[in-house]
Amino acid sequence: MAFKFKRKERVEKGVRRLSCERVEKALERLRQCENTEAIHGVRKEIKKLRAVLRLVQSEIGKKQYEKTAARLQKAAHLLEPARDAQVRVKALEGLSAHFKGEIAAHAFGSLHKNLREECRRETNRFKKERCVSTVGQIFRKLPSRIENLEVKRKGWSAIGPGIKTSYSRGRKAYKVVGKEPTAENFHEWRKRVKDLWYHIQLLTPIWPEQMAAMAGELETLGEQLGDDHDLVMLKETAEKDLDGEAESKARETLVGLLELRNRELRSAALLLGKRFYEEKPSLFCKRLETYWKTWRSESSQTQGEHPESLQ
pTM of the complete model: 0.91
pLDDT, tens digit, 9 for 90 and up, residues 10-64? 999 999 999 999 999 999 999 887 678 888 899 999 999 999 999 999 999 888 8
Amino acid 194 reads K
pLDDT of 182 > 60? The answer is: yes
Measured CA to CA, the distance from residue 234 to residue 216 in angstroms comes to 27
Hey, which residues does 100 pair with through a beta bridge?
A: 103
Domain ranges of the chain: 11-297
Rounded Cα distance between 78 and 72, Å, is: 10
What tens digit of pLDDT does each residue of 58-110 get? 999 888 899 999 999 999 999 999 999 999 999 999 999 999 988 876 778 88
240-266 per-position pLDDT tens digit: 876 665 567 778 889 999 999 999 999
Which CATH number, 3.40.50.150, 2.60.40.1180, 1.40.20.10, 1.10.10.60, labels domain 11-297?
1.40.20.10
